[in-house]
Amino acid sequence: MTRLIKKSNDFGAGGVSVAIGELTDGLDIYLDRVTTKYEGLNATELAISESQERMSVVVEAKDMEEFMDYCHQENIEVRHVADVTDSGRMRMFRDGKIVADLSREFIDSAGAPHFATARITAAESPAGVNPFHSEESDSLLSGRLRDFNICNQQGLAEMFDSSIGATTVLMPFGGKTARTKTQVSVQKIPVGNHFTNFASMMSWGFDPFLTEWSPYHGAAYAVVDAVAKAVAAGADFRRMRFSYQEYFERMHSPESWGKPLSALLGTLRMQKELGLASIGGKDSMSGTFGKISVPPTLIAFGMAPVDAREVISPEFKKAGHRLYMVPAARRANLMPDTEALTAIFDALHREIAAGRVVAAFALGMGGVNEALVKMAIGNETGAEVTVPAGTAWDKEYGGFLIEAAADIDIPGAVEIGKTIDKKAITVNGESVSLERLNEELASGYATVFPDRARAEGEAPDAACCEPGPDYPGEPVEHPLVYLPVFPGTNCDYDMAGAFEAAGARTRTGVFRNLTAEDISASCREMAADIDDCHILAISGGFSAADEPDGSGKFIANVLLNAEVRAAVERLLARGGLIIGICNGFQALVKSGLLPFGRIGELTPDSPTLFRNNINRHISLIANTRVGTVRSPWLRSFSPGQLHAIPMSHGEGKFTAGPELLETLLRNGQIAFQYAGPDGHATMESPWNPNGSSWAIEGIVSPDGRILGKMGHSERYREGLMKNVPGDKNQGIFANAVNYFRKTEKTK
């Protein structure tokens, strides 16, 4: 399908006039063909309305029918809205009449030549004030850890899905407590069911206070900060490229024009001196409302290709290691000393590759103290250090705090202390417990974006050792897995990859719902695919946008269709298996397949999956314990066995009455439970991330052939989530394949 597309554009600001108008020189655009959400729009509104969910594409006229057929197969709404011409003009039509007719030459000129005068003012500080020096005392309890620019924004960060795509090398927060904030995003390149260690790393840099003082210096240090963060995680800075996000006040004077010009000159100087290039960017010059304007903003985003095996994370690894500080390299004019920085970056990269540096943190707004606390809390490994008095909070962009397992050779590196087997940090003789420091670090955002929720009730450990059923048919070496893809499904690639890696064959089928005829045809096709398969796998996502009133209802209603329902019953009758993860689990529960094993078997006392206690989406790694082996899906496990599983959901709280909970426990249907640090089922947040009754993460049907769970076991591949400990390779997919192969149970 993609080979048919010659060019594409997104419907951002400017709507049709930009998304289509930029595609080529000559265009005839038919506004009345454009799909709209609202009736009654006039020609101007149709031409300029923003619609971020849509794309415009150019295909050859001879390929249009084929392209539209592909769109229909993928349940994508598509319209022919414009023709490419050789007129060199952009013409817009409404009801057969021309409403706009502009030459490309005129459009490209923006109407007329534009000129502006820019005046770059000198960077000045009050006499004797160093913009990099903090007047705070060296105390870890000075209040700086609560600063919004320094505090752990965990409650906010967890609202974004960090493990989708089964490519995440470093989770946003690492260590056994999942509290050490990573400074980079590292994602493996998606290769389907194949394997690679090739990954892409992204970092960023920006200090609004430096940029407000001097856009030139601030932009330069934004580049340096982005580079330092990538180097601290193992990247070779010489392979980096940049993209900039700029946001400035509305331009109204030479001085206002001088701010973005100054910032761009700062980035250009860093690029030339470091030998790096920028490959893109986005700007806005409208950051003014009334008398309020944004501070001069230029955020540097740095990207570099990396080998996932060479990536390190910032949490302290072991007590007894040496701690080194590498101060920032600055010239007398307070600009970065790029010659010295280049030597530091290269040396640190070599030491990481050699395995002598096991953790590193790029120093930033909170200096050494910020780095110490964030590196320590992840694995609850303390530190004792001595630094020059009055410098512990100084900004050191381009500098590092390094944990080394052996002697290192890095220009400017000074040994300042060591890691210790104690849950405390001592700086210049003052010692503070990690528990107290974690409270400080978490408190900044906690009132708006809490990272923990209330805990209610108790959770007994489930432990059923009875074996599950065997496959009644002939052995099947490569069972077929059918994965229906509903509107909003976004985990089907991950699920298919997990099954294929275990030895299964997969088939996906897109459920189309744009017309009544599409729905009927999709139900027939789905029933036929279920009849062909050995395993029905319902993936996660946001079916029908999870609205209104909760998730999974669309899929549940499809399962209740007579043809689909009959096919599901035939699948179970011949010993087939069903799995639903996240959104799929929600659908299995709302259809009655779980916990009862029969579609439509719902009562007022049926369980449900409700909104998380924390009242937001959560994305994190949770430890789960095995509660039963009475299922083909769980045949290789032992009760109490622990796994570390990615979670990503807003409505994952399994809720059931006490009588049903007792029945599930007695029947061996509690598959997995959220576990605390002691390995036992827990109701405590964040270990139980949603407040599920009896800490239930997943359940099975009475015969064990249907499994539903919230955790995304399908998102693990070798080399992923390496900054969080635990067994992340949960073998449910291999267990299902071995059930059909009739092989001996494997560990």
Nearest residue to 577 (alpha-carbon basis) of 670, 522, 499, 486: 499
DSSP letter for each residue of 116-182: ----PPPP--STT--TT---S-S-TTSSGGGSTTTS--HHHHTTS-SSTTS-BSS-SEETTTT-EEP
Q: Specify whether 151 is catalytic.
A: no
| Cβ-Cβ contacts under 8 Å for 223 (sequence gap 6 or more) | 205, 242, 266, 267, 270, 271, 274, 276, 300, 302
Contacts made by residues 510-513, CB under 8 angstroms, sequence distance 24+ = 510/73, 510/74, 510/75, 510/485, 511/75, 511/484, 511/485, 511/486, 511/487, 511/558, 512/72, 512/73, 512/75, 513/75, 513/487
Sign of CA dihedral 514, 520, 525, 531: positive
The Cα 350–Cα 347 span in angstroms is: 5
The two structure tokens encoding residue 444:
């900044």
Is 714 known to be catalytic? Answer: yes
Count CB neighbours of 116 within 10 A. Answer: 11
DSSP annotation string for 370-426: HHHHHHHHTTT-EEEE---TT-TT---TT-EEEEESS----TT-EEEEEEESSSEEE
Length of the chain: 747
- Dist CA 508 CA 532 (whole Å): 12
Instruction: Answer whether 92's CB lies under 8 Å from 355's CB.
Output: no
C-alpha–C-alpha distance, residues 162 and 10, integer Å: 24
| CB neighbourhood size of 48 (10 A) | 13
79-113 in b/e form (b: 16+ CB < 10 A) is: eebbebeeeebbbbbbeeeebbeeebeeeeeeeee
What's the CA dihedral at 628, 630, 635, 640 to 10 degrees? 10
SS (HEC) of 307-318: EHHHCCCCCCCC
Start-to-end CA distance of the chain, whole Å, equals: 42
- Please, are residues 224 and 132 in contact by the beta-carbon 8 Å criterion? no
CB atoms within 10 A of CB 678: 8
The active-site residue out of 158, 370, 380, 714 is 714
The single residue of 582, 643, 649, 697 carrying the catalytic annotation is 582
Backbone angles phi, psi at 674, to 5 degrees: -65, 135
Backbone angles phi, psi at 556, to 5 degrees: -60, -40
* Helices and strands (DSSP H and E) totals, the chain: 19, 33
Q: Which two tokens stand for residue 426?
A: 């001592």
Distance in angstroms (rounded) separating the CA atoms of residues 682 and 671: 15
Q: Are strands 424-427 and 382-385 parallel, antiparallel or unpaired?
A: parallel
DSSP notation for 529-558? HHHH-SEEEE--B-GGGGTTTSSSHHHHHH
∠ Cα 176 399 171 (to 5°): 25
Does residue 712 have an active-site annotation? yes
C-alpha–C-alpha distance, residues 279 and 244, integer Å: 9
Query: 626 CB contacts (<8 Å, ≥6 apart)?
Result: 634, 637, 638, 639, 640, 641, 642, 643, 671, 672
Coil vs helix vs strand at 594? helix
Query: 432: which strand partners?
Result: 425
Gap between the Cα atoms of 663 and 658, Å rounded: 9
Which residues does the annotation mark as catalytic?
582, 712, 714
